[in-house]
Structure 1
């Protein structure tokens, strides 16, 4: 009898954490969409979503960053709470680092996209470090979680696991092309990352992972 509450908590924690992750991820996408509507001063072609944090309404983007961080952090908890095998555990740890990097990217506002490297502010430098960490670690985390977490929805986890890596490679390829605008590719990258996170969170909140 004394172990019943603990056992119940162990069963419900992964589901609740996954539910929080899904809700936070959906809220992030919804808020980011709203920001695109109200911030017409930011170019969709030449400026990244991080630049929405600059200006009087910049706090909206800061909130969006924090929602995204919660979604990744809660997903890490949802995965770890299921006591998975090593690959998925490693993926969950990377997700926690992605969440931490996203918090840093949200708290510290970026510099304008055309700022010379030798004129970057401390805030802009820290933003780049945090956001860059999240950008690079998420595809690896997705692969480790997608292929390392056994589930009755294994096919969904696996085919979605490759999407973040594909989006990142596309984004890096675009950056290598001279005079190519990065606004839309970066937005596609952000969307793919969010879609992956929401899909996996929904799977873990509904399904029994064995």
Structure 2
């Protein structure tokens, strides 16, 4: 059963309230306020296995992400949960590096093909998580498939900046996070379908 994730299903990172100084929510659409304090949105509920569907729009050179299975005991969300990178590859320097371009498992695994975005135009995204298997979908097609238990990926994590954070990408459940990266990213039509 799909569950719509409206404003009442989200709160600020390390806070119980919705961070209205950093995010607007109008008619079911969330917009990060550019140049406001960078407070991520975290789902009130935690999830184990699921399909998380959403639409997002980035400004020119925009950068954001969707993180999952996040442990809020971490100082920052990216210290805990893996991230589906959302990026205007053409306008942002990270778009020149395959493992940090749009749809990547951020800084770890490149997407199978590029998915360009047009500034301010919504496209559909989806994260599927089942056990240790993850999939990132963009514009209705599979962008990336990975196994978080794959020894090669674990070795890559151990050589990355994430090695400093115990348990990174190892949780079997956790929260969703919409990243505030300082740009006016917009999200809408957010829903989750638990698959436990």
TM-score of the superposed pair, with normalisation by structure 2: 0.30
Q: Which has the higher helix share?
A: 1
Q: Which has the higher contact order (CA 8 A, sep 6+)?
A: 2
Structure showing greater Rg: 1
